[in-house]
Amino acid sequence: MLKHTLIHPEISAVLARAGHHAKILIADGNYPASSKKGPHAQLVSLNLMPGVVNCTQVLQAILSAVPVDEINTMMYTKDDPYALDADPPVWEDYRKVIRDQGLKLDLVPIEKWEFYKAVETPDHVLTIQTADQQRYANILLSVGVRMDA
């Protein structure tokens, strides 16, 4: 019986094989998950219906299960139809989840096209496709090192 909140067997199996620096993408419902992924990445679709499951819920489950060294977001644009003037509201939800997990990590935005390149590396082991409808909800996690006392 697992003690952490992540209970999805396929996701748990990939995470169990992942090592330090492995990349986990939590993708929103608009992310091109079938074409923007690493050569070794496994795709798990959790997009049941619009908004269910969302990226914040997946982040909470993943952070309960594996150590994370870095968290990158896709930087929002300021000059196209999807432009925003400030951080997407979902980023504050992420910050709350990170704080609630007792982690001292900041969100580090990466420009949109550089974000895609960061995902397409051999270190990318897992994409979890959600049905999140919020703009710029994509989040890329770098697996850390287990530091038992």
Buried b / exposed e over 94-113, threshold 16 CB at 10 Å, is beebbeeeeeebeeebbeee
Question: What is the reported pLDDT for 147?
Answer: 81
Domain boundaries in the chain?
9-143
**Architecture category of domain 9-143 in CATH:** 3-Layer(aba) Sandwich (3.40)
pLDDT of residue 3: 74
- pTM across the whole model: 0.95
Q: What is residue 149's predicted lDDT score, i.e. its pLDDT?
A: 60
Q: What is the pLDDT of residues 89-114, one digit of tens each?
A: 999 999 999 999 999 999 999 999 99
